[in-house]
């Protein structure tokens, strides 16, 4: 495995300066947002698709530094029945087209979340039983129908562009938020669908990412190096569901934290050992979203922890 970096954490830097910063951290691969709701500060997808000279110059910045694109990220909700949802969907299709022109074989995305029926306009994340009220089961079935239809069409577009893997990040508030929901989508759409295994999202829902990795053998396409911490005492009172803004870490029952500040390094060693044992030997892309410390401290803490634990 090799270390990569999700570059939105350095969104304040222009593209060349960002690459120099990543290189100075001892990292040679970048995961950049090129669609969806990410910062998209380093990849101007529309401009690169419209101008071959800009595309060549973009590639040249990477080549000059002996760096590569680990994946293009296009995470968002393309299933939202709204104008914004349609914009997200277009950005995903454009991202796949750009990936083809850049020779990037892997996209990172999220499954999205539809509304509850044909006339509803509000996405609904159904996490309670579908046994009652009686409209819950039809709503959940409808959501999966919409989700599977979109991903079959999008996977066909990706394949035509030369993309080989679509790594779906299991994310709370989307149709794919667990190992079993990822496998459900993969079974319906096909083997181009795999997981971007982000352990932090499983941690905050009470799942064990190590057990999940075993269940996902053969379909782990990407891994995010990202930690989370269930906050003592607060979670004991309110449980782990948390709607408070991420900008209020002191009040939240869980937080995203630098790697090693949630799970210890022994846990991370076991996680990467099992992930490798399940057939994954690709990039571990650091996604630094710790708001309890500075960006610099969070990056260095996470890099030190990942370099000490990933199965190189």
Tokens 């593209």 sit on residue: 15
Q: Is the peptide bond before 89 cis (omega within 30 degrees of 0)?
A: no
| pLDDT for res 177 | 98
- Model pLDDT, residue 312: 80
Task: Return the pLDDT at 8.
Answer: 97
**What number of CA atoms fall less than 13 Å from residue 299's CA on the CB side?**
16
* Rounded distance between C-alpha atoms, residue 29 and residue 70, angstroms: 6
DSSP structure class, residue 233: T
Position 311 scores a pLDDT of: 83
Count other Cβ atoms within 10 Å, centred on residue 116. 18
Cα 97 to Cα 15, 74, 103, 168: the distances in Å are 20, 12, 10, 18
**Residue 243's closest CA among 233, 253, 234, 257?**
253
What are the per-10-residue average pLDDT scores of the chain (312 residues)?
98 98 98 96 98 98 98 98 98 98 98 98 95 96 98 98 98 98 98 98 97 98 98 94 96 98 98 98 98 97 98 82
Cβ atoms of 126 and 139 closer than 8 Å? yes
- Tokens representing 114 are 């539809």
pTM: 0.97
């Amino acid at each position: 495995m090799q270390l990569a970096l999700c570059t939105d954490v350095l969104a304040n830097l222009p593209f060349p300066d960002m690459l120099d910063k990543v290189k100075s951290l001892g990292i040679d691969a970048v995961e950049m947002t090129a669609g969806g709701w990410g910062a998209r500060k380093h990849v101007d997808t529309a401009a690169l698709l419209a101008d071959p000279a800009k595309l060549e110059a973009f590639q040249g910045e990477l080549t000059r530094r002996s760096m590569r694109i680990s994946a293009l990220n296009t995470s968002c909700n393309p299933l939202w029945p709204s104008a914004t949802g349609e914009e997200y969907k277009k950005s995903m299709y454009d991202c796949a087209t750009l990936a083809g022109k850049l020779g990037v074989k892997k996209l990172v995305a999220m499954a999205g979340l539809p509304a509850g029926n044909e006339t509803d306009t509000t996405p609904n994340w159904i996490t309670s039983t579908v046994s009652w009220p009686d409209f819950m089961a039809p709503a959940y079935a409808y959501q999966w129908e919409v989700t599977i239809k979109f991903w079959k069409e999008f996977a066909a577009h990706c394949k035509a562009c030369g993309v080989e893997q679509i790594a779906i990040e299991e994310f709370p508030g989307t149709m794919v938020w667990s190992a079993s929901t990822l496998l459900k989508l993969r079974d319906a759409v096909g083997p181009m669908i795999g997981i971007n295994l982000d352990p932090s999202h499983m941690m905050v829902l009470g799942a064990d990412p190590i057990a999940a990795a075993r269940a996902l053998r053969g379909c782990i396409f990407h891994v995010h190096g990202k930690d989370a911490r269930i906050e003592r005492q607060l979670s004991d009172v309110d449980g782990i569901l948390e709607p408070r803004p991420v900008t209020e870490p002191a009040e939240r029952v869980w937080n995203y934290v630098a790697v090693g500040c949630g799970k210890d390094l022994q846990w991370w060693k076991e996680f990467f050992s099992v992930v490798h044992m399940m057939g994954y030997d690709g990039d571990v892309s650091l996604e630094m979203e710790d708001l309890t410390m500075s960006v610099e401290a969070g990056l260095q803490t996470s890099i030190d922890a990942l370099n000490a634990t990933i199965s190189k």
